């Protein structure tokens, strides 16, 4: 029996475009209201069975009308977010997103552009964003870059460029067979993504030397020099130093200028993990805190943290554009560029990273920079730092709170009581954080500072106000006191 090429009922376009436009208008209205009234909702709420059962649903073999799909989303997913758009979300380092990002995402979804290459307008939007970033961080002309899903992927791209440039031999062709042992160096506070990147690149996390930090949680350059000298003496090839602009634990910034000078003297690649701290470059009063970032051989940072852009988009810049291209450029015949037509537009972004299929990440960044301007964005970054200073000042003056660490926008502290030992205080503070989250009051996270469990607040939220910080601390104290009745006295 002859088969038809298509059945009318199998069209993937809306059966009624007028109805579809109505659905889109209603969704846009709801999204705007969702942002407008975020403060009226809990900062976080526990997930009900309907959410937990989503992975156990039957396969959706038959179609469901779009309004019904939206209704299920509205009731089951929309009310239970991570909470990072809420003004009292202080956990980890989560960005908030921008209202213009909702519009940008809609247009990007409609265009459905592939930014791997070829000759179309979205490519030039990304090139514009990369050129602006080059100027923001004062990288030289000839530097290259790429928009990626976040700093974790940016680190892979940067360290791959370092690997291929700094390790002798044709790494791309022959791999690491026969290569001598190598070493990368970072502070003991370095983000885990750097170790993961070394694992993915076949170098192994064992080649990462974690250098001790000083009392301000910054990499000790004397200890770095000793480690490099020891490796050279043992026949190990030092390759790269990874400086951090804003550690996750405490917000500390390594002495980037000193590290850059050391790398020049020693012939090492200098990479900077600037996931959120790099955005200090947007504000003239904060830029000196990251002095030396412009000297890096590569830099990875996020837009979705302290530039408040929707997830997930970050950036990697490489001082020597040829080093990045040499690490990734490869095209089969079906991808050869042309002088004319849609296959033109060299250079293609697929020559600068591992992905050929890439979404239109640049549009949400372009919208954010255009609508708000870099000066306004920089003022909000400064405001978060001033809010963190206010938080630390309140903690210092409170008899039951102890400040453990803090720099830039990060504050680490704990509730203390002389009747409890340190282990009991760890448990008390951990319970208080869970109480704050489950009651929807605020969402801090926890970490350990000098072995002690700390309540950690990272302010990367453009909606946070002083009253949010006051409520957070007041409720922390209240909940701790309430729990003290359940805690046995120190034995």
Residues 453 and 486 both lie in one domain: yes
Give the pLDDT of residue 333: 60
Q: Looking at residue 387, which CATH number applies to its domain?
A: 3.90.1150.170
Residues 34 and 143 both lie in one domain: no
CA nearest 359: which of 310, 323, 321? 310
> The domain containing residue 41 runs over which residues?
20-45+80-97+373-491
Instruction: Identify any residues that bridge with 456 across adjacent strands, giving them in sequence order.
Output: 412, 445
Give the pLDDT of residue 346: 80
69 is a domain residue = no
Give the pLDDT of residue 177: 84
Task: Report how far residue 256's alpha carbon sits from residue 45's, in angstroms, rounded to the nearest whole number.
Answer: 40
The token pair that represents 292 in the structure block:
């030396």
Residues 209 and 320 both lie in one domain: yes
Residue 163 in contact with residue 239, Cβ under 8 Å? yes
The predicted model scores a pTM of 0.93
Q: Looking at residue 165, which CATH number applies to its domain?
A: 3.40.640.10
Residues 264 and 216 both lie in one domain: yes
Give the pLDDT of residue 343: 73
Residue 125 in contact with residue 367, Cβ under 8 Å? no
Give the pLDDT of residue 209: 97
Q: How far apart are the first and last CA of the chain?
A: 85
CA nearest 210: which of 198, 200, 195? 195
Residues 223 and 190 both lie in one domain: yes
Residue 367 in contact with residue 103, Cβ under 8 Å? yes
Residue 317 in contact with residue 144, Cβ under 8 Å? yes
Residues 251 and 391 both lie in one domain: no
Strands 410-415 and 298-302: unpaired
Give the pLDDT of residue 119: 84
13 is a domain residue = no
Give the pLDDT of residue 155: 97
Give the pLDDT of residue 339: 72
Give the pLDDT of residue 179: 84
What's the domain count of the chain?
A: 2
Q: pLDDT by residue for the chain (491 residues), tens digit each?
A: 456 666 677 888 998 999 999 999 999 999 999 999 999 999 999 999 999 999 999 999 999 999 999 999 999 999 999 999 999 999 999 999 999 999 999 999 999 999 988 888 999 999 999 999 999 999 999 999 999 999 999 999 999 999 999 999 898 988 888 889 999 999 999 999 999 999 999 999 999 999 999 999 999 999 999 999 999 999 999 999 999 999 999 999 999 999 999 999 999 999 999 999 999 999 999 999 999 999 999 999 999 999 999 999 999 999 999 999 999 988 766 667 777 777 777 888 889 999 989 999 999 999 999 999 999 999 999 999 999 999 999 999 999 999 999 999 999 999 999 999 999 999 999 999 999 999 999 999 999 999 999 999 999 999 999 999 999 999 999 999 999 986 655 54
Give the pLDDT of residue 491: 42
Residues 354 and 236 both lie in one domain: yes
């Amino acid at each position: 029996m002859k088969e038809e090429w298509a059945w009318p009922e199998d069209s993937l376009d809306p059966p009624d475009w007028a109805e579809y436009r109505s659905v889109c208008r209603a969704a846009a209205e709801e999204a705007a209201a969702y942002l407008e009234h975020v403060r009226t909702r809990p900062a976080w709420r526990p997930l009900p069975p309907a959410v937990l059962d989503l992975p156990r649903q039957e396969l959706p073999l038959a179609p469901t009308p779009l309004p019904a799909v939206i209704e299920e989303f509205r009731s089951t997913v929309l009310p239970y977010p991570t909470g990072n758009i809420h003004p009292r979300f202080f956990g980890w380092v989560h960005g908030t997103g921008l209202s213009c990002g909702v519009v940008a995402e809609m247009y990007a979804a409609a265009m459905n552009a592939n930014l791997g290459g070829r000759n179309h307008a979205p490519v030039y939007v990304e090139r514009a964003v990369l050129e602006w970033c080059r100027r923001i961080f004062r990288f030289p002309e000839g530097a290259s870059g790429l928009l990626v899903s976040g700093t974790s992927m940016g680190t892979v791209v940067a360290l791959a460029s370092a690997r291929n440039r700094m390790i002798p031999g044709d790494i791309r062709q022959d791999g690491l067979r026969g290569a001598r042992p190598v070493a990368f160096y970072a502070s003991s506070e370095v983000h885990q993504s750097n170790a993961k990147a070394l694992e993915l690149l076949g170098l192994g996390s064992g080649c990462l030397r974690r250098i001790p930090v000083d009392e301000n949680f910054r990499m000790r350059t004397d200890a770095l020099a000793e480690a490099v000298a020891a490796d050279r003496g043992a026949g190990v090839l030092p390759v790269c130093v990874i400086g951090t602009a804003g550690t996750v634990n405490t917000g500390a910034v390594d002495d980037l200028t000193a590290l850059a000078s050391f790398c020049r003297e020693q012939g090492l690649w200098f990479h900077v993990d600037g996931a959120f701290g790099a955005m200090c470059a947007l504000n003239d009063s904060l830029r000196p805190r990251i002095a030396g970032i412009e000297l890096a051989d590569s830099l990875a940072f996020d837009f979705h943290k302290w530039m408040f852009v929707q997830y997930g988009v970050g950036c990697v810049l490489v001082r020597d554009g040829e080093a990045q291209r040499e690490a990734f450029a490869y095209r089969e015949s079906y991808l050869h560029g042309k002088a004319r037509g849609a296959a033109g537009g060299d250079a293609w972004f697929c020559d600068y990273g591992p992905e050929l299929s890439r979404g239109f990440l640049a549009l949400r960044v372009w919208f954010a920079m255009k609508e708000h301007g870099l000066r306004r964005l920089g003022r909000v970054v400064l405001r978060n730092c001033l809010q963190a200073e206010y938080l630390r000042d309140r903690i210092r003056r409170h008899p039951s709170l102890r400040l453990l660490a803090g720099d830039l926008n990060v504050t680490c502290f704990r509730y203390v009581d002389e009747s409890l030992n340190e282990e009991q205080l760890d448990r008390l503070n951990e319970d208080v954080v869970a109480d704050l989250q489950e009651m929807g009051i605020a969402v801090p996270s926890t970490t350990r500072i000098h072995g002690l469990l700390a309540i950690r607040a990272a302010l990367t939220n453009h909606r946070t106000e002083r009253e949010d910080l006051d409520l957070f601390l007041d409720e922390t104290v209240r909940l701790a006191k309430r729990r003290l009745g359940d805690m046995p006295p120190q034995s």
